[in-house]
Amino acid sequence: MKNDIVNDLISVFGSSNVLTKDITDELTHDESLTAKHFKPIAVVFPTEESQLIQLVKLAKKESVALVPRGSGSGMSGACNAVENSVVVSFAKMNKILEIDCDNHIAVIEPGVTLMQINDELAKYSLIYPVQPGESSATIGGNAATNAGGMKAIRYGVTRNHILGLHAILENGEKLITGGKFLKSSTGYDLTQLFIGSEGTLGFISQLTIKLSPKYSDTVTMLAPFDSLNELTAAIPKIINTGTLPSILEYLDFLAIDATTKSAGIDLGIPEEVKQIAQAYLLIVLEGNSSNRLEEDMANIGTILESSGAIDIYSLPPQSGMALVDAREKAFWVAKAMNANDIIDVVVPRSTIATYLNKVSEIALQSGSLIAGCGHVGDGNVHLSVFQNDQEKLHEVMFQILKVGTDLGGAVSGEHGIGTEKLGYYSKLENSVKLRIQRQIKQILDPSNIFNPDHLIPPKI
């Protein structure tokens, strides 16, 4: 049977687009620190939608699972190969089909990466403004995980930028949703159903995305605080100024130390400030008028001062960019330091300090080290958990996630559930929501060929 399907795959994709013997391990998993993965029967590289239609028919006939894959930069095991599966890499479906400057829209294939689209858009002084930390990620993968990133506070997340899509369904049909328009009141929003579906409902084979103008000027501010309560209390006041920061991030003292050291950046922060600072607030403002940006900086500075910031630094452009870049690479630093797991709970923004105080108690009681940073403007906190005892680690992870959901938050703000968080999610999520998700999966993928064992908990 295995040989038959391989021959069939070769007849659909051509032998140069089917890997069977030389499948490197990297093609079978993402960056999750704990999720399991299996060796797939094959990895295929589609180049057009018609091949995807043939593939689903074949997979159904042979009862083989299909695991869509973007760049494999995910954090939850969402593209990890399962048993008896074919991994479907979108690396070669990466054409930018149209850039429509009048409508501020691009039409793209799912394998287009963030770096690729922004390089192309630079020619038109436009950007795709969603900025998850890994620019090698594909926009298909971003859509399937509803990726967020640092600029969500100003621009929103992937969900707010996908205006329409094509999806190849389990029965071989092509669903076409949305289009080059910003609003629609025409029934259930099936575009949004696919956003965050983690490859479980079908292949996303084309996307219509919303673009923004590129601003000419950027300023970066950094404010150390000796208490996280004061830092988080400053956030609503900053937002109330109407200055629209594009980045509002916090880094705890461990995270800023590790990321700046790893990137070789010296921000010139005096030693006496470093000794007392518990957390740092990183603020980036973008615009086309340097005078306006200076005014905005002054307004924010006044608020930071009255909110208890130990000091306020306006970083030179190069250091500002280097710090943002280092913050984006925080995951690699945690991985290099042998973090045992990572977590990206989202909580109501005003509860971040309460959440982190409770996390500190869990760390103390369990003898774990937990450090982090996060999108303080939107409540999404990224924590690295260091705990070598696997049983304790599992319990610590559950407790941290439970503290977050008890505060009115959600298990994941942007990384998704995949296989890694599935056990926790099935215990902590609203049971009605889980049942309806199972029913939707059953309607759209009755043969359960798309990414089985991911995202949707089995019925207990």
| Positions in the binding site for ligand FAD (CB under 6 A) | 30-31, 67-75, 78-79, 90, 110, 132-134, 137-138, 140-142, 144-145, 147-149, 198-199, 203-204, 328-329, 331-332, 414-415, 451
**Joined tokens for residue 15:** 């032998």
How far is it between the farthest Cα atoms of the chain?
71
Contact present, 308 and 227 (Cβ < 8 Å): yes
Q: Is residue 92 within a helix (H) or strand (E), and if so which, with residue range?
A: none
Q: Between 132 and 224, whose beta carbon lies closer to ligand FAD? A: 132
Per the rule left: phi > 0, alpha: psi between -120 and 50, beta: everything else, 379 is left
User: Which residue reads 């899509």 in tokens?
Assistant: 165
148, 151, 155, 160: CA torsion to nearest 10: -10
Kindly state the smallest distance separating residue 30's Cβ from ligand FAD, in Å.
Answer: 4
Q: Between 204 and 381, whose beta carbon lies closer to ligand FAD? A: 204
Going by their DSSP bridges, the two strands 65-69 and 85-89 should be labelled as: parallel
| CA dist., res. 394 & res. 400, Å (int) | 10
- CB-based burial of residue 329 (10 Å sphere; 0-12 exposed, 13-18 middle, 19+ buried)? middle
Kindly state the smallest distance separating residue 361's Cβ from ligand FAD, in Å.
Answer: 27
Q: Between 70 and 224, whose beta carbon lies closer to ligand FAD? A: 70
Kindly state the smallest distance separating residue 447's Cβ from ligand FAD, in Å.
Answer: 16
Alpha-helical runs (H) found in 173-267: 190-194, 228-240, 253-263
Kindly state the smallest distance separating residue 276's Cβ from ligand FAD, in Å.
Answer: 29
Q: Between 134 and 296, whose beta carbon lies closer to ligand FAD? A: 134
Segment 100-107 long-range contacts (CB within 8 Å, at least 24 positions apart): 100/180, 101/126, 103/180, 104/210, 104/211, 104/212, 105/163, 105/180, 105/208, 105/209, 105/210, 105/211, 106/208, 106/209, 106/211, 107/180, 107/206, 107/207, 107/208, 107/209
Kindly state the smallest distance separating residue 3's Cβ from ligand FAD, in Å.
Answer: 26
Q: Between 13 and 331, whose beta carbon lies closer to ligand FAD? A: 331
Kindly state the smallest distance separating residue 455's Cβ from ligand FAD, in Å.
Answer: 7
Q: Between 204 and 304, whose beta carbon lies closer to ligand FAD? A: 204
Q: Between 205 and 278, whose beta carbon lies closer to ligand FAD? A: 205
Q: Between 366 and 437, whose beta carbon lies closer to ligand FAD? A: 437
Kindly state the smallest distance separating residue 315's Cβ from ligand FAD, in Å.
Answer: 20
Kindly state the smallest distance separating residue 70's Cβ from ligand FAD, in Å.
Answer: 2
Alpha-helical runs (H) found in 16-136: 49-62, 114-121
